Chains A and B, each alone.
Chain A
């Protein structure tokens, strides 16, 4: 099967046929953007130092090494827990025009709404696979808001076939992880009933 590769800038039509559970890869640019960057844009109303229209963000705080020639080397970059950005993401999508949000785990109803209204998707990169992702970064082209320290700096990465990226929220607002969680919770009760009868240690 051919790899499905998205290329930045991403257009609405690139995403409209994607559904949760589909696997894609990304070629082009992706900017790391996590807690404080979201807070600065949404709460503190500061302008982002990067243009994200049609772009991609990575919920990630990498390990970066500064080289002797002043450039930066991507050592290790994996996704962080996306749910931390849920509070801000709908407005973030609306304000920036970002099309692809890469992270880890699920996001909530606000992001679903943002993805549906503005034709964007959230995708999961396998957590902990940070050297795999680093080998897919061709170059760190810029580093903005370095005052935030290594994890929170906006690292502008040029990537080649970054992935696998598993679509977890699609442009129709379907949410893979929320669906999975509902299944897990439905199974929980009957499993616990079986355990209860065997752990009555207080007699």
Chain B
């Protein structure tokens, strides 16, 4: 394939995939919501779960974004160093965002800061936001597309604890964020927690944690244990869908971590709303692709 044709082909795929994830929830999230709905006993909470299911059905039938807030588009790129379009990828993703904005259509959500003008294209300075990881011997690329609305972005919080506060301090921080600000963020939430050195390292990990499937666990046994403890504990609070109280509070808690400075514990929390619109696509060197998050998806 000529380079220009290849660029056009990948732009087209990514535009379609970006539009697609705004209209369909990933399979793991759909299953979890069905499970939470089945377990729910409070009448008002059950009615909310019913509205949610009706909404997803209508979004599918009418081919529309299921939530009006289609976020500032974020792409988490795990790029093989030998991927043929590595150098073109940033521009491709920007153009794909513009294209998806027109075709889906997506809400215009890029406001240039200080100028305070909506660009009307969902592109702007450093938007779509790109996050890169490089894999040395790979010739493909895996991309997570994520749309977080303003509602579930607002609770986001990070701090640096003193080691004396320990993992007890981490648990307390997570609970404080969710009980005070998570209530307005369209629960049941997926809670992403980053444990690291500083605010920015913890914050990045907390967002990466939201790219992990619902129900998956951190490979470290202590981190996995903490995920379960926090999930069970938050559920015991009974926040329910939309904070209207119910049998559960969250879809899960995912923790990602790095080694840390001995003098600090950086901790961050990011929340994903129930309409957790993320999708993972694997693109091969010949630009064939596989969608990894949505069973039976067709672009």
Contacts and interface: CB of A to CB of B under 8 A. Distances in A.
Contact of A132 (B55, B120, B171, B236): B55
- Looking at chain A's contact residues, the main secondary structure is mixed
Most chain A CB within 10 A, of B48, B179, B184, B241, is at B184
A185 B176 CA distance: 9
B213 interface: no
Interface stretch (A3-11, A55-63, A87-95): A55-63
Interface stretch (B10-18, B102-110, B135-143, B278-286): B102-110
Contact of B66 (A83, A130, A187): A130
A97 interface: no
A131 B175 contact: no
B54 A129 contact: yes
B118 A150 contact: yes
A176 B244 contact: yes
Contacts of A181: 179-180, 183, 243
Nearest to B104: A63
A76 B65 contact: yes
Interface string B143-177: 00000011100100000000100111011100110
Given A63-B106, A129-B55, A75 B64 contact: yes
A83 B243 CA distance: 14
A128 interface: yes
Interface in A138-179: 148-152, 164, 166, 176-177
Interface string A62-99: 11010000000001111011110000000000000000
B288 interface: no
Given A192-B172, A200-B166, A201-B166, A150 B108 contact: yes
Contact of A127 (B65, B151, B222, B230): B151
Given A75-B105, A105-B184, A106-B184, A127 B168 contact: no
B207 to A, nearest CB: 19
Interface in B230-248: 230, 233, 236-239, 241-245
B244 A180 contact: yes
A106 B184 CA distance: 7
A164 B179 contact: no
Contacts of B69: 61, 78, 80, 130
A127 B105 contact: no
A192 B175 CA distance: 8
A128 B243 contact: no
B151 A104 contact: yes
A23 B48 CA distance: 11
B193 interface: no
Contacts of A191: 175, 233, 236-237
Given A76-B67, A124-B242, A198-B225, A151 B108 contact: yes
Nearest to A21: B44
The 9 lowest CB-CB distance pairs between A and B, nearest first, are A105-B184, A149-B118, A129-B55, A127-B186, A128-B275, A199-B167, A76-B68, A130-B68, A132-B55
Interface of B: 44, 47-48, 51-52, 54-55, 58-59, 62, 64-70, 105-109, 111, 118, 120, 149-151, 154, 163, 166-168, 170-172, 175-176, 179-180, 183-186, 222, 225-226, 229-230, 233, 236-239, 241-245, 273-275
22 contacts: A61-B69, A63-B68, A76-B64, A76-B66, A80-B69, A81-B185, A104-B151, A126-B242, A128-B67, A129-B55, A130-B67, A131-B64, A135-B62, A150-B108, A181-B183, A183-B245, A184-B238, A188-B237, A191-B175, A191-B236, A191-B237, A202-B163
